[in-house]
Amino acid sequence: MSGFTNLNSSAGYSQNSTPNGGAAPPYQNGPVQTYPAMYPPAGYYGAPPQQQGYSTIPGHAAPAPNKAPVTNNAHSANYYHNNHQQQQNHLPQHRVAPSPYSAPLSSAPPSQPYAALPSAAPPPTNAHYNQQPFQPHPPYATPGSYYGQQSYHPSSARQHPSLVPVTASGPGAPLYPIVSYPSAPGSSQYGTLSSSQSTSAPVGMPTQMVGAPLHQYSAAPPPSTTAVQPGYGVGPPGQTAPTVVNGQGSAAQNAVHQHYTQSHQASLSYDSYSGVPPGSGGADTDQPPSGTPSTSVHSSPGHHQGGDTSSSTTGSASPVPNSYDSLEGGSYPDSMPPSNDMTNQAAPYGSYGYPSMQSAYQQGPASHTDASPSHDLYGQSGYQQYSQPFPNLSQLSAALGGLSGVPELEVEALRPVNLLQERNLLPPRPLEAPEPNVSSDLKKVNCSPQTFRCTLTSIPQTQALLNKARLPLGLLLHPFRDLQQLPVITSNTIVRCRSCRTYINPFVTFLDQRRWKCNLCYRVNDVPDEFMYNPVTRSYGEPHKRPEVQNATVEFIASSDYMLRPPQPAVYLFLLDVSHNAVEAGYLKYFCESLLENLTKLPGDVRTRVGFLTFDSTIHFYNLQEGLSQPQMLVVSDIDDVFIPSHDSLMVNLKESKELVKDLLTSLPEMFSQTRETHSALGPALQAAYKLMSPTGGRITVFQTQLPTLGVGALQAREDPNQRSSAKGVQHLGPATDFYKKLALDCSGQQIGVDLFLLSSQYADLASLACMSKYSAGSVFYYPSFHYIHNPAQLEKFQKDLERYLTRKIGFEAVMRIRCTKGLSIHTFHGNFFVRSTDLLSLANVNPDSAFAVQMSVEDSLADSSLACFQAALLYTSSRGKRRIRVHTLCLPVVNQLSDVYAGADVQAITCLLANMAIDRSVSSSLSDARDALVNAVVDLVSAYKSNVSNLQQSGLVVPASMRLFPLYILALLKQKALRTGTSTRLDERVFAMCEFKTQPLQQLMRLVHPDLYRLDNMSDQGALHLNDTVVPQPHLLHLSAERLSRDGAFLMDCSNVFYLWIGKCCNEMFIRDVLGCPNYASIPPNMVSDSKRCIYVSPSMSGNDRE
């Protein structure tokens, strides 16, 4: 049985681990394998008295204690399901289900078979579960022990879905069971985690196997991991949980199991530390995480018994609290329902994790099983792949010095280029980020330039030197990017510097076994005991081999220390404009269709809640409470003083009310088809949305199609169409009112992000409206002249964007802190967020498509260090209610020569940062100022380079080769919609382009500024890439100049969000037939739009070269 599942899982793994699984991974956060013992203050949540305390003080977690009591109730009901759980346990008489609750009971039949696992187990799981009848007990044994001594019987648990907490006061009481129970199967917030683990324990095995091979610590090559996979996959059936629990009980164990026992005891003692009473309870607690998986742990040595011992070495590390997970982000196929992922993540991680790590070590001698924390190990060849020379401090600092320069690269970057003579400036392939000039060891572990990029990859030592270089110093960050591979670390103590709170990273220095030196503030810290333990070799004394120290991008599962309140569920509110204008544009139908399609793919777990609000001159709420036969519409026409008609039935649990939500989405487009209401009360609707969401936080998605005309936040048409092309200066780039900004700040305070979809054919004052997203860390989408019939291209784009938007990953209640080496300081932030303090950004929502830019300044001289580091730590709640910290660390050399600064200049990053600054400038001052300053920046650089570095007395425009594209990029920037003058540009489009500049990641932005142009019709296989038996030709980049186009060619221009295909008049007919399916040039339909991921506009050129 399990052998079968394991087979499946390894197959799944091989799919997942392929690097080209490039689809958007909405569930990247999902497969967290959490270990209940991982939460050190388990007693805090687990001990009954404290839970009682929670239940009596709901305001403790309510973000706004002075809200109406009803609101508070709703809040506590969501967050403290365990209260009711507890109360049920204490007050058994309430288990008698009163008649009102029979409805939920009958309406949730799937939860019945699971007994104590009410809803965490999704239907697909059920099948698995039934196939494994031999393991019914561990699941509920866990929660029982986890929650202290309370008896926790399956029979009582079975009734939970139908129960009602008596303490729940107010009108919302009857609703509680619906909202809270399914999401909290007999547990607190953390109980949700643990119980879902137990739920899925049987199923967890196969899914865990999926996760297992992903534990690739740096050098582990996937193939070998896969090879190991079946090995320990076969074993499990032979083992049973009890033997595992006791560790010693496993009879046929080889010598290695001594180690296992030791470590296991360590974990037991850990349990007692975490507040769970030792003894049987403690053993039970230990069981679910280690139980099922460790069956395979045992089997793994058993299986490999004759073979290499190293496998057992790693395999037995599981029960120790330190556990790492190296997960492949986004590997979960879209088709998999979230609940399934829930079970995946619930799988106990540890024991499967380590066996896979062995693969990295198999290359080394197998004899290091008896790993003692002695230094001899480093001499072994097996460890040479970890090239960081840990114990030798002097070596390390020498290596860190960046002294081992890369002369060839530097020389090439510094080659003076005379722009008046050289015509071919573009590289044949898209420009790559310059590599920081650090030692190769550091280069290997440095943060990916796609995530973290600095404008100067060699940091000037002093501000004076920076000023001399005339280049801005700044960072470009894409912190929540969809990653293919991300090491996830579950650890009790997240090791951080004690003075500056920097997370431990690959660039710290280990002074000796027990101390490390922070690379940002240079404080010497102790290495905690737990960190000393290296589960890879199952030995102490190798802290430098932990994944934190091997990867510049890691993710921690945070403990409750990192929470101000229990993690919120995923809550989505859709605010839809249904005025006449909106119905005319016809977006509603497509929105509903898209949401219906993606309803199951919305990131979230069983607690996910949704709500809908529509508005024209009034506000319509929708009661979607489970049990209703159809959605109820509640109309509030008092827009001057908006109130919420019903507190608990408007935001409903998606899982329970799915049918009603579907009903609503199907009927919504028809409902307003006859409307004659032309007004739009966006401001009051937003206020209502804010009130509705403020207890939990979440995401508000606003669809607006016209200028808001009623109530607060009403706006005037400010644009004068005759001035659109005036070169004098563009007015009204700033907001007309601070209503939206204030609202956004309020929202940000309550952890609500507001995203705006503006689908307007007329001026809608985006400059004011965008504020609601700008300061609440939302995103803005704009579809000018949207119409479902007349503008199919926009419709297409809208649908694609919406699909991505609905299914993309999301992080809630996030903050991001950027730390940098002492001496550097943050000057300004760019992007959508609220700056809460000098280095802290408050992000109500964080999404994988938004990026940030940071301007830095050098405050003190960096002379005493040879390296400068930047660390961005993003703390967020995943859509599955886990607190996570994603840490990126970038390490760059410090230089004191101007030529080195120029050699390391990153022209793309500089252009993007300057663009961000120019947007600020044009809003706060004027567009012409910004344009002048941009031009001056280029002039300045050229003169500075000429006078300071270039000793060649040549005339003309001489720039360093690293910056040779700078003038081109700046000129391209000046032609962008955001910054152009003289061409008719609608104000909204201009403002939207500015918003894009502020939030788009660098790669997108650069293609927007300077699109990539390729010739398609004469591609050759020369230099082609060979990927999976397919040949991918690599055509050369062409300059964006008409001289590069020719009548007989076909050209593709990649502008980031749109592709243009340009077909010359005399283009090869075979090409036209093969690519476009048309027999010849004349038969190409005008305005052909392709149905690809990104729209392709095909414009047949009528007259040769001059057509775009």
Partner 1 sequence: MAFTFAAFCYMLALLLTAALIFFAIWHIIAFDELKTDYKNPIDQCNTLNPLVLPEYLIHFFFCVMFFCAAEWLTLCLNLPLLAYHVWRYVISNFLHPINYETPAGSLEPAFLALGCRYMSRPVMSCPGLYDPTTIMNADILAYCQKEGWCKLAFYLLSFFYYLYGYVFHFRICPSC
Distance in Å, CB of 496 to partner 1, minimum = 17
Distance in Å, CB of 947 to partner 1, minimum = 9
Shorter beta-carbon distance to partner 1: residue 924 or 1080: 924
Q: Taken in order 176, 182, 185, 187, is the CA torsion positive or negative?
A: negative
Shorter beta-carbon distance to partner 1: residue 644 or 686: 686
Shorter beta-carbon distance to partner 1: residue 360 or 913: 913
Burial classification of residue 366, based on how many CB atoms lie within 10 Å of its CB (0-12 exposed, 13-18 middle, 19 or more buried): middle
Q: Cβ(490)–Cβ(325) under 8 Å?
A: yes
Distance in Å, CB of 381 to partner 1, minimum = 49
- CA neighbours closer than 13 Å in the CB half-sphere of residue 386: 26
Distance in Å, CB of 897 to partner 1, minimum = 18
CA distance linking residue 519 with residue 517, whole number of Å? 6
Distance in Å, CB of 911 to partner 1, minimum = 11
Shorter beta-carbon distance to partner 1: residue 244 or 712: 712
Shorter beta-carbon distance to partner 1: residue 742 or 787: 742
Q: Which residues pair with 460 in a beta bridge?
A: 895
Distance in Å, CB of 955 to partner 1, minimum = 16
Shorter beta-carbon distance to partner 1: residue 132 or 463: 463
Distance in Å, CB of 440 to partner 1, minimum = 33
Q: Which residues pair with 854 in a beta bridge?
A: 475, 829
Which H/E stretch holds residue 632?
A: strand 632-636
Shorter beta-carbon distance to partner 1: residue 442 or 846: 846
Distance in Å, CB of 463 to partner 1, minimum = 11
Tokens encoding 239: 């083992």
CA distance linking residue 734 with residue 724, whole number of Å? 16
Distance in Å, CB of 734 to partner 1, minimum = 6
Q: Cβ(780)–Cβ(786) under 8 Å?
A: no
Tokens encoding 956: 């003309």
Shorter beta-carbon distance to partner 1: residue 219 or 933: 933
CA distance linking residue 140 with residue 162, whole number of Å? 19
Distance in Å, CB of 822 to partner 1, minimum = 16
Q: Cβ(853)–Cβ(825) under 8 Å?
A: no
Distance in Å, CB of 759 to partner 1, minimum = 26
The CA–CA distances, whole Å, from 117 to 48, 195, 347, 576 equal 20, 7, 14, 37
Distance in Å, CB of 639 to partner 1, minimum = 18
Q: 840-854: string of b/e by CB count within 10 Å (b at 16+)? A: bbbbbbbbbbbbbbb
Which H/E stretch holds residue 799?
A: helix 792-807
CA distance linking residue 30 with residue 605, whole number of Å? 9
User: Taking Cα atoms as reference points, which of 523, 547, 520, 519 lies closest to residue 533?
Assistant: 547
Tokens encoding 137: 């007990």
Max Cα distance, the chain (Å): 95
Distance in Å, CB of 722 to partner 1, minimum = 22
Distance in Å, CB of 682 to partner 1, minimum = 17
Distance in Å, CB of 929 to partner 1, minimum = 7
Rounded (10°) CA dihedral 786, 787, 791, 793: 60
Shorter beta-carbon distance to partner 1: residue 471 or 894: 471
Q: Which residues pair with 475 in a beta bridge?
A: 454, 854
Backbone phi, psi, residue 577, to 5° = -80, 125
CA distance linking residue 176 with residue 172, whole number of Å? 7
Shorter beta-carbon distance to partner 1: residue 736 or 1040: 736
Shorter beta-carbon distance to partner 1: residue 843 or 1037: 843
Shorter beta-carbon distance to partner 1: residue 421 or 825: 825
Distance in Å, CB of 876 to partner 1, minimum = 19
CA distance linking residue 780 with residue 685, whole number of Å? 18
The CA–CA distances, whole Å, from 668 to 6, 590, 900 equal 45, 11, 62
How big is the CA angle at 882 (ends 880 and 883), to the nearest 5 degrees? 145
Shorter beta-carbon distance to partner 1: residue 150 or 737: 737
Give the β-pairing of 698-704 and 571-577.
parallel
Distance in Å, CB of 815 to partner 1, minimum = 12
Q: 665-684: string of b/e by CB count within 10 Å (b at 16+)? A: beebbebbeeeebebbbbbb
Shorter beta-carbon distance to partner 1: residue 206 or 472: 472
Shorter beta-carbon distance to partner 1: residue 179 or 934: 934
CA distance linking residue 555 with residue 538, whole number of Å? 22
What residues contact residue 977 under an 8 Å CB cut-off, 6+ apart? 985, 989, 990, 993
Shorter beta-carbon distance to partner 1: residue 193 or 712: 712
Shorter beta-carbon distance to partner 1: residue 244 or 910: 910
Backbone phi, psi, residue 633, to 5° = -100, 130
Q: Which residues pair with 846 in a beta bridge?
A: 811
Q: Which residues pair with 327 in a beta bridge?
A: 486
CA distance linking residue 967 with residue 954, whole number of Å? 19
Tokens 């055509």, located at residue: 1035
Residue ranges in contact with partner 1 by CB under 8 A:
467, 470-472, 734-739, 741-742, 745, 749, 775, 825-829, 834-838, 840, 855, 857, 914, 917-918, 920-921, 923-926, 929-930, 932-934, 936-937, 939-940, 943
CA distance linking residue 415 with residue 424, whole number of Å? 15
